[in-house]
Structure 1
Amino acid sequence: MQKIIGSQGLDDYTQTNTRAKLTDLVVTRNDFPTARYSIDLNLEKLMYCAMIIVRKNELKNKTSFTYDDFIYVSTENFGELTSPMARKEVVTATDKREIQRNAEIALKRIYTKFDNPTMLVKDGESEEPAKVPMMTYCHYDKATKCIKVRFAKEFFEYFYDLVKKVDEKTKSFSSHELKHIILFNSSYSLRLYRILMSYMWRTSEVTIDLNELRWMLECEDKYKELANFKNRVLNVAQEEINKLSNINVKFENVKNGKEVVAIKFIFNLKNEYKEQDQLKFIDKMKKNYLASAIPFSDDGSHFKTPDRKKYFKPPVKLSSKQISTLVNCPEFLLDYGHFLGNSDEETSKVIIKTLLAEKLDKLNAYKPIDLDYYFWLQVRRGIVKNGDNDNKEKDDQE
């Protein structure tokens, strides 16, 4: 028997629906944003709402989701998320009717245009990408004003249970709040934002081959002149991302001689979000420490006390995010410089990354790794976001 995720039955759907909220996290594997797919902008937004509802229902009802289950999203919920009008300080009855009407139109259009979307994902060294079905079912019910969708079995691994499986075989994943993409009017803005966020936890700059970028954005046969591609795609995305999201981005050409061969993106959290993340991360750490009777000082001096070693356990295994955080922390490279000799910075990072992945016991034998300390440093720099420490991510999701 199929379960209805998001409802206890159509008769009382509007009373029992689990709703997606603007502050809910969209969590996906990092090779999802860089995949190629053709999908209606509103359907893509609906897809992320459905992912959130799946997770929230599991937590709420203590049940597991399967690929046979349907997910329902109401026009009311979709409207309050996607309408700028719903962000007004005072939303009138007239506003609410307009929001509802526009949401109904959007969901009906999603149903009308639905065509079992499939994404192309680079698969190792193969020249041909894998074809992965994303959603296999869509139905709009006029009576309940709900849309009903079902994810494809093969698509599960790109969004499902990611925070529960952290081992050497687990693909890297990233997260962002729904509110940062839900008002975009351009699919290029949404796609580029998510591509950049897949890199956010390890760098603030990324260079993407121009042909690869065109492939991801399905612009191989569109806007062939670079100036046109910039005006119609990159400039539009940059403007919307800088205006509506939590990051600022700028880009520049990368040339081979006179030819532009790649685009370099420079991006950072906006100051207000950087400060919020710092406060959330440090406040959570402080509460945990004090609850366990572990010394904590706001200036971080507790990390340098002589008896610090008795308050933490060095890691016996690290995730890819944790390794990346340590590799990119100057203090960590300095503390473990014993293993680096006179290597330059890039070589040092390669050596340390290998040791963290394969010889962690040797590093701990030399000096037990105080993971909280290095994460605290990177959070203060705004490099690590709240929840990027994999040991804390599961708690953040719950």
Structure 2
Amino acid sequence: MEKDLVVVKANSLIEASYRLSIDEVRILALTIGTMDPKSNQQVFDFTVADFVREFPEISFDNAYKQIQTAVKRIYERSVKTEDNERVTEFRWVSSRTYFKKEGRFRIVMTNEVMPYLTQLKGQFTQYQLRHIAYFNSVHVIRIYELITQYCSIGNREITVEDLKKWLQVEENYSRWNNFKARVLDPAIIEINEKSDLLIEVEQIKRGRAIHALNFVIGRKKQVVKISDETAKRPAFPHKNKYGKYVTLDRQNPRNSPAEYGNYAKDCLAILNEFYQDISDVTTEDLRNFWVFLSCSQSFRSTLGKRSDFIEELKKRGYKIVECELVKIASKQTDLVDKNALNVTKI
């Protein structure tokens, strides 16, 4: 396979409604990235090694089972497109094949989905697969694609209703605060840290309710290839090796099961080994440092105490609430909220 795979999708497919797991999205990105968008190729073979190479955070030991599960489920998945005249629903994949003892898989895309991948269905958007390779959530990938569509323009306004519909989370996050804290804010952090884009979000109000979001989009001046091992923190070990109860108590990390404590200790060792100065730590790993240190009084970091990581996060405009990163509202934002103006920057 080529080193820099390019994913090409019709804008109408990017704005379609569908529900996929993170591994299912990765498989589609991998297969679409290998195809010639001007061809009629529908059959795609890929190996476990291909998958791990393009998504380096995946453990090779667990990759086969992850792919097998994802290939099995994607066979049942469908995608729904909608315009002013019609609603259309079709499947992604028409068949799947496992090659026993080869570590190789094959999927065949449906006739219905092919026009959305071969530049035959309206306007298209493309991006390099490596720019989404380190995302950990389907929502992040979907938002990245929606923003990339308008990168040349520099901003995109999306209603909250449309965004929730496209992400298929209308029923999960009916309240704005929950959607913002669980979906939007983590996505913005990941996109800014792990991709080629830098984005900010403005809230657009109707009365007191948040009606739409204006994404202000920019490209990083110099993108460091995340595949460069000198710039990439080693992946944390897979939780499965520690047992069944590797669960974080988000209210009080110290009450987490012993299995999570063992996992946290090993993850903390990786962080301590990789980083030399607290200013070099990514925002996400500042949160990881704090969480892992909170699991036991005996845990230590060479970079500082828990309070030091909280202070560094504060400098960057974040705090930790129930073990998750939350953007700190500025005084200006608070003032705007109180006066119920139409546009509030977050």
Please state which band the TM-score falls in when normalised by the shorter chain.
0.5 to 0.7
Which sections of structure 2, spanning at least 5 residues, go unmatched?
225-346
The equivalences for 1:148-167 within 5 A come to 148-160=106-118, 162=119
Judge conservation of contact 1:116–1:137 (CA < 8 Å) in 2: no
What's 2:147 paired with? 196
Judge conservation of contact 1:247–1:267 (CA < 8 Å) in 2: yes
One-letter identity of the residue aligned with 2:65? I
Following the alignment from structure 2 to structure 1, what is the Cα–Cα distance between the partners of residues 82 and 137? 24
Q: Give the drift of 1:256.
A: 1.1
Judge conservation of contact 2:8–2:117 (CA < 8 Å) in 1: yes
Judge conservation of contact 2:5–2:34 (CA < 8 Å) in 1: no
What per-residue deviation string (whole Å, max 9, x for no partner) do you get for residues 4-24 of structure 1?
xxxxxxxxxxxxxxx253x22
**Rg: which structure is higher?**
1
The equivalences for 1:68-79 within 5 A come to 70-79=43-52
Following the alignment from structure 2 to structure 1, what is the Cα–Cα distance between the partners of residues 87 and 201? 27
Judge conservation of contact 1:208–1:262 (CA < 8 Å) in 2: yes
One-letter identity of the residue aligned with 1:190? I
1:65 to 40, 65, 78: 40
Following the alignment from structure 1 to structure 2, what is the Cα–Cα distance between the partners of residues 137 and 44? 17
Judge conservation of contact 1:20–1:49 (CA < 8 Å) in 2: no
SS at match of 2:173: coil
SS at match of 2:112: helix
Q: Give the drift of 1:84.
A: 3.2
One-letter identity of the residue aligned with 2:216? I
Which sections of structure 1, spanning at least 5 residues, go unmatched?
1-18, 59-63, 86-98, 275-398
**Which structure shows the higher strand fraction?**
2
Q: Give the drift of 1:198.
A: 1.2
One-letter identity of the residue aligned with 1:232? R
Following the alignment from structure 1 to structure 2, what is the Cα–Cα distance between the partners of residues 199 and 140? 38
What's 2:135 paired with? 184
What per-residue deviation string (whole Å, max 9, x for no partner) do you get for residues 236-287 of structure 1?
111111111000112121101212111111111111159xxxxxxxxxxxxx
Give yes or no for the alignment of 1:82 onto 2:55.
yes
1:54 to 23, 35, 50: 35
The equivalences for 1:103-114 within 5 A come to 103-114=63-74
Following the alignment from structure 2 to structure 1, what is the Cα–Cα distance between the partners of residues 57 and 140? 17
What per-residue deviation string (whole Å, max 9, x for no partner) do you get for residues 183-205 of structure 1?
2111000000001111123x111
Judge conservation of contact 2:75–2:92 (CA < 8 Å) in 1: no
1:213 to 154, 157, 163: 163
What's 1:395 paired with? none
Judge conservation of contact 2:98–2:106 (CA < 8 Å) in 1: yes
Per the normalisation by structure 2, the TM-score is 0.61
What's 2:12 paired with? 31
One-letter identity of the residue aligned with 2:17? R
What per-residue deviation string (whole Å, max 9, x for no partner) do you get for residues 135-183 of structure 1?
12223223110111010101111111x2xx7xxxx61111110001122
SS at match of 2:33: helix
Per the normalisation by structure 1, the TM-score is 0.53
Following the alignment from structure 1 to structure 2, what is the Cα–Cα distance between the partners of residues 233 and 185? 12
Q: Deviation above 3 Å: which 4+ runs of structure 1?
A: 64-67
Following the alignment from structure 2 to structure 1, what is the Cα–Cα distance between the partners of residues 177 and 134? 26
Give yes or no for the alignment of 1:247 onto 2:220.
no
SS at match of 2:105: strand
Following the alignment from structure 1 to structure 2, what is the Cα–Cα distance between the partners of residues 66 and 145? 22
One-letter identity of the residue aligned with 2:74? F
**Which structure shows the higher helix fraction?**
1
The equivalences for 1:120-159 within 5 A come to 120-123=80-83, 125-126=84-85, 129-159=87-117
Q: Give the drift of 1:114.
A: 3.3
Judge conservation of contact 2:74–2:93 (CA < 8 Å) in 1: no
Q: How many residues align?
A: 224
What's 2:279 paired with? none
Following the alignment from structure 1 to structure 2, what is the Cα–Cα distance between the partners of residues 111 and 46? 8
Identity %: 21
Judge conservation of contact 1:116–1:136 (CA < 8 Å) in 2: no
Following the alignment from structure 1 to structure 2, what is the Cα–Cα distance between the partners of residues 102 and 180? 23
What's 1:324 paired with? none
Following the alignment from structure 1 to structure 2, what is the Cα–Cα distance between the partners of residues 258 and 150? 48
Judge conservation of contact 1:79–1:100 (CA < 8 Å) in 2: yes
CA-atom RMSD in angstroms: 2.1
The equivalences for 1:260-271 within 5 A come to 260-271=210-221
